[in-house]
Amino acid sequence: MIILGIESSCDETSVSVMKDGAVISSLTHSQEEHSLYGGVVPEVASRAHLEKIDVLTKRVIKDCNLTIDKIDLIAVTDSPGLAGALLVGVSFALGLHTAYGIPITGVNHLDGHICSLFIEHPNIPTPFLCLLASGGHTAIYRYESYGNCRCLGRTVDDAAGEAFDKAGKLLGFPYPAGRAIEEEAAKAVNADKSDNTDATDDKKESIKFPIARLSSPNSLDFSFSGLKTAVKNFISSNSEQYIKENRPQICRAFQEAAVSSLVNNLSRASKSYDDGIKTIALGGGVACNGYLRDELIKKFGADNVYFPSPKFCTDNAAMIAMAGLKMYNASKTRFPNVGPSRGIAEAI
């Protein structure tokens, strides 16, 4: 079965061809114009998608020596996301559907992130706990099978990736800032390794940010807005020179706080099940973070932690094609509809 995946929900235009669950060609264009503004500008995003979507589709189909009539199903992201950006992908997909009579399904973007795991780990043991952490969403799911997925907790304010982006903006990094913060934090870690003196340890101790705890002790929800405010207050109560000199240490302290919150909730979620759910999975752009991956491996063991390659963590059409395949196999395909979002990840 050959599926054409199309993703345009935010600032990545992506098209992918999947054959029987294997990605045979995938192209993603990341819109860099938003770095000027420190965040995604919806109108700019829609126009940039319009410029790229047909070019990418032609190239992807040509790359795998196919013709459009060989496509069995079009899977297109239809929710959630920026309305104008989604409309570009959905209108384009509907054009192909109408012109060539190819069956089509709308896909929930969050389902796509969860299904990104199956691209490289088709036999991941179920049930598993999936942490989805991206620029727009942060939640923990218990996944049994397609159509049987329950949200256990989600952010009550900012998403984890949004917190990286906002803290990064305060520290002078361009949008999106997640990767830059990770790289800057690594400088502090490497400096400690090469200069393992008491003085350095003191300095490390001196910068710490709070890990949010929600009022209910059993809640698996997240909160990241306090962490962003703590970084903001720290910056405004220290000199520009101090902030500049200690940027790696600040990034490390921020990353430790953000990651601790993610790991702590996953740990509590895994303990809350009598069936001893051991398999932990990651998805979404923040899942690219090496420190997060290492901390999870330390806590749960390398054999129990699954994550996609970075190119399948950030927004991509291969994950949308994979979700389309799961929907098709479960007889759950549906006509695309930009509007209230529907999918396994948002069913609860």
Among 48, 152, 185, 286, the residue binding ligand KG4 under the rule CB under 6 A is 286
CB of 113 closer than 8 Å to CB of 283: yes
Query: Which positions from 117 to 156 touch Zn ion by CB under 5 A, shown as an x/- string?
Result: -----------------x----------------------
Which residues make beta-bridge pairs with 15? 6, 27
Q: Which residues are within 8 A (CB) of 180 and not within 5 positions of it... i.e. 6 or more apart?
A: 168, 173, 174
In the complex with Zn ion, which residue's Cβ is closer, 11 or 256? 11
Among 5, 80, 127, 135, the residue binding ligand KG4 under the rule CB under 6 A is 135
Tokens of 338: 């930009």
Per CB under 6 A, contacts with ligand KG4 among 158-217 are: 161-162, 164-165, 176-179, 182
Beta carbon of residue 79, minimum distance to ligand KG4 (angstroms, whole number): 12
Distance from chain centroid for Cα 205: 31
Q: Which does 158 bind (CB under 5 to 8 A by kind): ligand KG4, Zn ion, none?
A: none
78 lies in the binding site for ligand KG4 (CB under 6 A)? no
Report how far residue 76's alpha carbon sits from residue 102's, in angstroms, rounded to the nearest whole number: 13
134 lies in the binding site for ligand KG4 (CB under 6 A)? yes
Which residues make beta-bridge pairs with 19? 2, 22
11 lies in the binding site for Zn ion (CB under 5 A)? no
In the complex with ligand KG4, which residue's Cβ is closer, 153 or 161? 161
Report how far residue 289's alpha carbon sits from residue 255's, in angstroms, rounded to the nearest whole number: 9
304 lies in the binding site for ligand KG4 (CB under 6 A)? no
| Binding window for Zn ion (CB under 5 A); candidates: 65-73, 223-231, 265-273, 310-318 | 310-318
CA angle 299, 187, 11 (to 5 degrees): 80
| Upper half-sphere CA count for residue 250 (Cβ side, 13 Å) | 24
289 lies in the binding site for ligand KG4 (CB under 6 A)? yes
**Residue 147 amino acid letter:** G
Residue with tokens 């361009």: 174
Binding site for Zn ion (CB under 5 A): 134, 315
